[in-house]
A and B are shown apart, each in its own frame.
Chain A
Amino acid sequence: MRVRTVAVATTAVGALLLTGCSGGQSSGSSDTLSWSMWIGSSEDQKVWEGVGNTGAEASGKKVSLQGSPFNDYWTKISTQLGTSAAPCIVTMQSLRVNQFSEGLLPLDDLIKSTGFDTAAFDEGAMKALAVDGKQYAIPYDTGPLLLFYNKDAFAKAGVDAPKPGWTVNDFETAATALKKNGQVALATTVEDIFLEGTILSTGGAKMIDDSGKVSLDDPKTAQAIEWIAGLVKDGTATKADGADASADDNAFINGTAAATVGGPWNSLDFKAKAKFDVGVTTIPSPQGEQKTYSAGSGFGISKTCSDPTAAFKAITAMTSEKTLTSLAKDGRAFPARTAAQAAWYENAGIDGAKETLDSALASAVPLPGSSDGDKLNQMLSQYGPQMVNGEKPAAGVLAEISRQIGK
């Protein structure tokens, strides 16, 4: 009798532990589309939930937003894709789409069958989210990498406001003048976008080749990084911090450095937080020839999504002219849809933004992605500071990074 009580109790406890509290969410539940997105703050969350609602209306299903901080987002996506835990709608960055294309559904059939008009989007932004001719996501924002600068600091140092198309020499002159005035010119970081964008513009060098392979052995790459290291040594650029990828943004916002490389997606934040007038221009190039990368983000559909048709309906609404115009009015993303771009210029609140963007976009090429992108990022956060801060020769550090990324 007693024995039986114990046995029953034990079984009950065991059963409770194993099944009682399970019932975890699955992405394919019939009335919900789960959507993963990087979320910086509650304010972000509210805006994106609004975007999700437009998708819900269009698809007739609930769109549930799963947010994680940007730093962890890519690791999380990589553990989810290909499993039943994968979200239906996946937010993708153009430079990372190669890495995840295996877990994403090519959208070409859906585009064709629904008559989705891809021509309404910026061509480069669209192409940037395709791999081997297959479209994996529909872009919501895009934009070339630019140089944001502190207008007040430039004026105080008696430096003329830089014009789009300025040269590396112009920049160095400005940096010297700023330094005389006790002001560091450039904020650095070892984040991939910053490094790749800066060395392409200032030195014509690429860290990822057009076929998506990490290739660091071009002497031009080492040279371009040595140029940044020279600035750091000279005291005209901040030191890079491997453990804090966004240290450059902080340094710019709090006035430590007078300029930083970023995309249109940064402008809202800079304007809101900086206590000075924010200006924007192109990243300096050797002869003023202006080479720059563009990058953007969009929404894709995971292969395991149980209802891709509904998901595509949602994505269509989430990238509609109306939605993107309203995002642009908040000054958030520079819309990938050309018809919505005017709204951004009107609301960005930065003088000369249109002129700069037009000028940069004319020559911008999509920042290529690589299937080794996350590895490169990890290696850059470990090894990057040594070369950017000039503690070790860039060529040697780059060789070490190549070796570790290896096979």
Chain B
Amino acid sequence: MAHVSAREVTAAAAPKDHRPGGRRRGWSGAWGVGFAAPHALGLALFTLVPIGIALAMSLHDWPMIGSPSWIGFENYRQLISDPAFRTALTNTLLFVVLYVPLNLVVSLGMAAWLSPKIRHRQIFRVIFFLPTVTPIVANAVVWRMLYQPNGAIDATAQSFFGIKLPDFLADPHWAMIAIVIMSVWQGFGYNMIVFSSALDSVPESQLEAASLDGANAWTVFWRIKLPLISPSLFFATTMTLITSFQVFIQPYIMTRGGPGDSTVTLVQFIYNQGFTFQKLGLASAAAWVLFVIILGVTAVQFLGQKKWVHYE
């Protein structure tokens, strides 16, 4: 099972040369540059250049119309002192803290359940993957209807259990939780497929050895399977963390950030500042803060992986 790891990176830095002929035969310089060039140029123009532009913009007062003016770190200072930004930051962190573990538990659980023993499991896999291929906009709209007072969820609870549920999206305590639940439903399919294929590639011999030792299914899962798939767990956790910081569409469609500011996320803050309030500089500064946070979190992930990720 492949993974991004420090070791992979070093492996790339010093690739094993399979050939006895050594350097001269292995060196395919122009070809390598040529093959990598289209991708590298595109990436440079459309990702690296914009990152640089963003940094420059964040140091300017950059209106949508008119010319920018240099203001140094003023945008950053303004962000720090803006309670709306702090709220967006805490909301995003809250989303991440709730969403990532829930996503991993559900996707891992479903992947384990859909073991090769299940007949027609590919049908189930497609079913659980369906929400992921549906446009998030469409999903968000459906869930908005489900969450409404007297909507499908509330009405079901009333007729089966006789309880009136809160107005999820209009209640500041529930709105974010409602968005998290919808997001997990929408997004766990990716990780489920990753874990599913990782679990499939656990060698049969190891499992047999364990069951001969009298370990039950639970122990086998925790002690044998989980460590063996830890590289893909690590990969999935990292990617899910990164993407969860980008949450935008769900609140944009379901709550517009409300009630109050309880579901305004960082990306919505960036969008509002940039495209509604037309402060491109401030929006870029917020984007850089988001970038640095993600880099930090990812770095912690990489440092922490030694403790629990086992490579064969």
Contact = CB atoms under 8 A, between A and B. Distances in A.
A282 interface: no
A381 B258 contact: yes
Contact of B37 (A14, A18, A79, A81): A14
Nearest to A374: B276
B27 interface: no
A285 interface: no
Given A382-B260, A385-B258, A404-B84, A14 B64 contact: no
Interface string A375-391: 10010011111100101
Given A79-B64, A242-B259, A382 B264 contact: yes
Nearest to A18: B45
Interface stretch (B69-77, B105-113, B249-257, B294-302): B249-257
Contacts of A384: 258
B169 A243 contact: yes
Nearest to B254: A243
B132 interface: no
B272 interface: yes
Interface stretch (A5-13, A24-32, A322-330, A345-353): A5-13
Interface string A240-253: 01110000000000
Contacts of A386: 258-260
A272 interface: no
Nearest to B29: A3
A391 B277 CA distance: 27
B135 interface: no
Interface in B251-298: 253-261, 264, 272, 275-278
Contacts of A211: none
A33 to B, nearest CB: 21
A254 interface: no
B83 to A, nearest CB: 8
Nearest to B30: A3
A141 to B, nearest CB: 26
Contact of B261 (A14, A78, A382): A382
Nearest to B45: A18
A337 interface: no
Contact of A378 (B149, B169, B254, B276): B276
B203 interface: no
Contacts of B52: none
A14 B41 contact: yes
Contacts of A81: 64-65
B66 A82 contact: yes
A389 B259 CA distance: 11
Contact of A243 (B45, B167, B253, B261): B253
Contacts of B60: none
B225 interface: no
A78 B283 CA distance: 15
Interface in A47-87: 75, 78-79, 81-83
A14 B84 contact: no
A249 B65 CA distance: 35
Contacts of B66: 82, 102
A127 interface: no
Given A78-B278, A243-B256, A382-B259, A102 B38 contact: no
Nearest to B39: A13
Given A378-B256, A383-B260, A385-B258, A7 B278 contact: no
B144 A243 contact: yes
B258 A7 contact: no
Given A243-B258, A382-B258, A75 B275 contact: yes
A384 B256 CA distance: 11
B277 A375 contact: yes
Given A6-B34, A7-B30, A10-B37, A242 B255 contact: yes
B56 interface: no
A386 B170 CA distance: 8
A103 interface: yes
B259 A17 contact: no
B38 A14 contact: yes
Contacts of B272: 378
A256 to B, nearest CB: 11
A13 B34 CA distance: 11
B170 A385 contact: yes
A13 B38 CA distance: 7
A250 B249 CA distance: 23
B275 A79 contact: yes
A332 interface: no
A80 B40 CA distance: 31
A75 B277 CA distance: 9
Contacts of A75: 275-276
A81 B41 CA distance: 31
Interface in A83-114: 83, 102-103
Interface string A242-279: 11000000000000000000000000000000000000
A206 interface: no
B21 interface: no
B214 interface: no
A96 B24 CA distance: 69
Given A6-B30, A382-B261, A404-B84, A78 B37 contact: no
15 contacts: A2-B31, A3-B31, A6-B34, A14-B38, A14-B41, A75-B275, A75-B276, A78-B278, A81-B64, A374-B276, A374-B277, A378-B256, A382-B257, A382-B261, A385-B259
The 7 closest A-B pairs by CB, nearest first: A82-B65, A6-B34, A382-B258, A3-B30, A242-B258, A381-B256, A10-B37
Interface of B: 30-31, 34-35, 37-38, 41-42, 45, 64-66, 84, 144, 149, 167, 169-170, 253-261, 264, 272, 275-278
Given A378-B276, A384-B258, 7 more contacts: A10-B38, A78-B276, A81-B65, A103-B65, A242-B170, A243-B256, A382-B260
